Amino acid sequence: MTQHSRDTPQFYLTAPSPCPYLAGKEERKVFTHLVGDRAPGLNDLLTHGGFRRSQSIAYRPACETCRACVSVRVVVDDFVPTRSMRRIAQRNADVSGEMRAAVPSSEQYSIFRAYLDERHRDGGMADMTVLDYAMMVEDSHVETRIVEYRLAPSVPSPRRAGTLIAVALTDILGDGLSMVYSFFDPDHEQRSLGSLMILDHIARAKQMGLPYVYLGYWVRGSRKMDYKSRFLPQERLVSQGWVRAEM
């Protein structure tokens, strides 16, 4: 095998399967492997081209008759929270986030399992075991972190951690933070923790000097994805490249 063939990624196409976002549609994905020393740079490059990471795989939709999935990234320096977002932050003043090494825990899995059972019981991840979860977190050849969100303990103590209520698996790219997967305790759904985690990532990216927060795919008409369009301004990847959207 030549050096060129080792360093050039090979791309593959999945078979058609039911679309998880739009009823009556089918999806196909193109994917490649993210392994070895080239993985971080390749992940950056592919993310700029609309790919997402799942473990050691980078993928993007390759549907023949549909272009509904649009990659979106928040423009960090120009972002201004809406009134409702400021209320979410105020409502969660007792929640703190800590970015740490991407190490899975039983505490995380307990929330992950409750989240899937409540919100995605018919999804492709519904049968994930604790070992599957550990692989999701650990099987990364790029710079990946876990952000844990905890309630302030009722009795403040340096030895006592607050209750874990939300988790985000996040990649650190050359130009931003990419939110790979996030989940929360469904018992705290009224806190709008999904939005809180995005707001926190925007603040973290700004502190780190990174211009973007990558949110994955936005699908117009999908209730599951609609919330992403509220974090403005953002850039959306279309055939002409990344285009700024103010609304």
pLDDT digits (tens, 9 = 90+) for 60-77: 999 988 989 999 999 999
pTM: 0.91
Look at residue 247 in the predicted model and tell me its pLDDT.
80
pLDDT band at 224 (very low <50, low <70, confident <90, very high): confident
pLDDT digits (tens, 9 = 90+) for 139-173: 999 999 999 999 988 666 555 679 999 999 999 99
pLDDT averaged over every residue in the chain? 92
**Residue range 42-56: average pLDDT?**
96
d(C-alpha 43, C-alpha 53), whole Å:
8
pLDDT band at 226 (very low <50, low <70, confident <90, very high): confident
Look at residue 222 in the predicted model and tell me its pLDDT.
80
pLDDT above 90: percentage of residues in the chain: 78
- Model confidence at 1: pLDDT above 50: no
